[in-house]
């Protein structure tokens, strides 16, 4: 089928035929996607109810997608486009737009302007609403595992240090750590030797931080693994990421954070975590490595 009534996706109002990834425009992209799907359905002559039957969805879900009240996954959009009998070029472009719409960019500078304590509250809400969190940490220790001295150093870097008083954010970060005691949750942490031994602080503080990791590894809600540099790894440890259940992934960048919600992206990062976990030392093997690295700094 060439298109709906001779239309391509570029002819649908508001949709550019050559879309580019720009996560900072995710809100706009979501509205474009909703409008495009609505306009394509109308052009097909199908009612929302008839399209819902073809897609195996409820009519109310179709309505919420078309009005932008919920963000559809790639699987949702593929089902809708199949139900509409849309041509391949239109499918490809709208599926690309869906991937962009499921990607959110959070600018660290905006977080600093609002106050770093707001970011801590956002993270606390994510942790409160998740049952299993998996942290892959190839560069630095994450907030849930940090001592206050390490937190201070992490927030006051030479390049664009935190402006104003960081004590409020540090207090909230320490408060967040209480979630590790919640027995209804499960936390998996994978750290590379590079992340553990990166001397963000003076050696005496680093030794205490490594001792702290060894202590946390004994908590019943925590599974902590370490990957020594001597381990052969045929996959690059490109960046820090955290998975929250099967719902989303966050990726840390120098100037911000990417949030991915598409199920295929989430599945990919779970597969990556599983692979890296096969190369890690856990339990007493991990603690033996940690004690040796801490002793090197004393």
Chain Cα centroid distance, residue 196: 22
Considering only 112-121, 225-234, 258-267, 273-282, which range has the smallest mean pLDDT?
112-121
pLDDT in tens, 265-289: 999 999 999 999 999 999 999 999 9
Nearest residue to 136 via CA among 237, 211, 230, 219: 237
* Distant-in-sequence, close-in-space partners of 189: CB < 8 Å, separation ≥ 6: 135, 137, 142, 144, 145, 222, 223, 224, 225
Pairing of strands 222-227, 281-282: antiparallel
SS3 65: helix
Lowest mean pLDDT among 13-22, 38-47, 223-232: 13-22
Other CB atoms within 10 A of residue 84 CB: 21
**Residue 11 DSSP label:** G
Q: How far is residue 29's CA from residue 35's CA, in Å, rounded to a whole number?
A: 10
- Residue 3, pLDDT score: 39
pTM for this predicted structure: 0.73
pLDDT at 161: 60
Task: Decide: 170 and 151 in contact? Cβ < 8 Å.
Answer: yes
Mean pLDDT, rounded, of the chain: 86
Rounded to the nearest 5 percent, the helix, strand and coil shares of the chain are: 55, 15, 30
Q: Is the pLDDT of residue 5 over 60?
A: no
**Weakest mean pLDDT among 9-18, 38-47, 243-252:** 9-18
CA atoms of 53 and 48, how far apart (whole Å): 9
Query: What tokens does 231 get?
Result: 């381990």
d(CA 95, CA 187): 33
Structure-token pair, residue 285: 């093997």
Res. 21 pLDDT band, cuts 50 70 90: very low
């Amino acid at each position: 089928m060439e298109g709906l009534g001779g239309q391509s996706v570029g002819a649908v109002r508001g949709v550019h035929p050559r879309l580019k990834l720009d996560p900072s425009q995710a809100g706009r992209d979501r509205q474009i996607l909703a409008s495009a799907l609505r306009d394509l359905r109308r052009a097909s002559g199908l009612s929302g109810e008839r399209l819902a039957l073809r897609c195996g969805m409820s009519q109310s879900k179709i309505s919420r997608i078309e009005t932008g009240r919920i963000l559809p996954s790639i699987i949702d959009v593929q089902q809708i486009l199949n139900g509409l009998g849309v041509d391949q070029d239109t499918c490809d472009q709208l599926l690309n737009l869906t991937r962009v719409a499921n990607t959110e960019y959070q600018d660290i500078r905006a977080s600093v302007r609002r106050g770093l304590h707001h970011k801590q509250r956002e993270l606390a809400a994510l942790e409160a609403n998740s049952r299993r969190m998996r942290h892959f940490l190839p560069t630095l220790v994450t907030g849930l595992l940090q001592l206050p001295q390490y937190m201070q150093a992490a927030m006051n870097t030479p390049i664009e240090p935190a402006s104003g008083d960081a004590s409020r954010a540090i207090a909230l970060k320490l408060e967040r750590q209480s979630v590790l005691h919640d027995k209804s949750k499960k936390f998996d942490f994978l750290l590379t030797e590079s992340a553990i031994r990166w001397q963000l602080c003076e050696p005496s503080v680093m030794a205490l931080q490594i001792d702290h990791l060894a202590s946390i590894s004994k908590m019943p809600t925590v599974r902590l693994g370490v990957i020594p540099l001597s381990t052969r790894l045929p996959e690059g440890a490109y960046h820090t990421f955290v998975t929250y259940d099967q719902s989303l992934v966050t990726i840390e960048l120098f100037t911000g954070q990417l949030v991915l919600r598409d199920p295929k992206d989430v599945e990919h990062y779970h597969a990556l975590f599983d692979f890296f976990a096969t190369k890690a030392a856990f339990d007493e093997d991990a603690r033996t490595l940690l004690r040796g690295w801490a002793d090197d700094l004393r």
